[in-house]
């Protein structure tokens, strides 16, 4: 709530936009003042639900709205490049829902456009901005765990075949990787400071998107990572970081506001951090964006654009190893 108040335009009135707007209005000083959709009826229904002032029946009208300071791009992955470029061309900074785009080439287009215009652009990987991840960050910086040797994380949800249609659709950049695996992959990249090697194996659905994968990584200082995702079952969704002096354990749903436990090498709990609330975690990325925008910044130190691009390159590599391609990628 201490973050500066800014006026948001939301592009795309889907489920994540609803959760994000609810969190924004409940726990920050910022407000959504305009909503844009290809359907004016959907925009008006969203506006009525959240007390939003203006509804637009096109994305072009939304980004041209003079009453917004920034645009939250909440459309499907397959549309992120087009919609982020539309907002940037209108002079609007962007918070782009993860995955940032379908692939690294599209991510580079968005990043180049933002940098050319001097506009703020941030990937909405909300986990990076949560308080318990800041605790992990400080432990790593202070050497609490000694030399890091291993990281483990998984993310599985029962989303196929009876979940959202887009997850099965190659043309909508469906599959487990961009929706689910991106969480453990981004977490491990943050912990290890990058990857020196990536090896993936997995299975595909009958539509040709990935149903799940196991990804083995090696960090630049020889630490290993074991990462997994599936949209065929609910998994523990836990994470751990192990070093020569101890380990951190994060409970299930590690990517949401959570508890972090410090465990010594004899498996004794030495300390723990409990998030102040497990609700409205999406607000932290919006608050960070408002601080950055007010300070005149063009990207976040917590998730720099070059890191977003590198992670998209890694996701491309994993898809290539699995044999997954999206129509029209080039």
Active site residues: 98
How many whole angstroms separate alpha carbon 230 and alpha carbon 211?
6
Between CA 89 and CA 320 the distance in angstroms is: 32
Beta strands 197-204 and 210-218, pairing class: antiparallel
In terms of residues, how long is the chain?
330
CA distances from 38 to 52, 62, 91 (A): 17, 10, 21
The 10 Å Cβ neighbour count of residue 244 is 11
DSSP 8-30: EEEE--SHHHHHHHHHHHHHSS-
Beta strands in 258-313 (DSSP E): 259-263, 269-274
Give strand pairing partners of 246: 243
Give the residue from 71, 78, 254, 243 showing the smallest Cα distance to 153.
254
């Amino acid at each position: 709530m201490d973050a500066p108040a800014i006026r948001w335009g939301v592009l795309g009135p889907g489920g994540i936009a609803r959760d994000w707007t609810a969190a924004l209005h409940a726990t920050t000083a910022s407000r959504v003042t305009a909503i844009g959709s290809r359907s004016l009826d959907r925009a008006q229904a969203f506006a009525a639900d959240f007390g939003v002032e203006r509804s637009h029946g096109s994305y072009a009208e939304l980004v041209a709205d003079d009453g917004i300071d920034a645009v939250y791009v909440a459309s499907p992955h397959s549309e992120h490049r087009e919609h982020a470029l539309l907002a940037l061309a209108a002079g609007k900074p962007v918070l782009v829902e993860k995955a940032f785009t379908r692939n690294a080439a599209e991510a580079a287009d968005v990043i180049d456009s933002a940098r050319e215009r001097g506009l703020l652009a941030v990937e909405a990987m909300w986990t990076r901005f949560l308080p318990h991840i800041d605790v992990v960050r400080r432990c790593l910086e202070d050497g609490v765990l000694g030399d890091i040797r291993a990281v483990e994380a998984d993310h599985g949800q029962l989303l196929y075949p009876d979940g959202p249609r887009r997850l099965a659709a190659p043309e909508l950049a469906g599959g487990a990787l961009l929706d689910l695996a991106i969480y453990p992959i981004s977490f491990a990249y943050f912990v290890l400071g990058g990857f020196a090697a990536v090896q993936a194996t997995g299975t595909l659905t009958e539509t040709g998107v990935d149903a799940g994968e196991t990804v083995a990584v090696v960090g630049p200082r020889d630490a290993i990572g074991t990462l997994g995702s599936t949209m065929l079952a609910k998994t523990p969704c836990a994470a751990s970081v192990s070093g020569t002096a101890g380990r951190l354990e994060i409970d299930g749903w590690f990517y949401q506001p959570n508890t972090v436990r410090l465990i010594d090498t004899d498996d004794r709990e030495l300390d723990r951090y409990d998030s102040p609330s497990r609700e409205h975690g999406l607000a932290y990325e919006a608050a960070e964006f408002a601080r950055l925008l007010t300070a005149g910044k063009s990207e976040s130190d917590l998730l720099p654009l070059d890191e977003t691009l590198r992670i998209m390159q890694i996701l491309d590599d994993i898809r290539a190893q699995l044999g997954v391609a999206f129509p029209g990628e080039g």
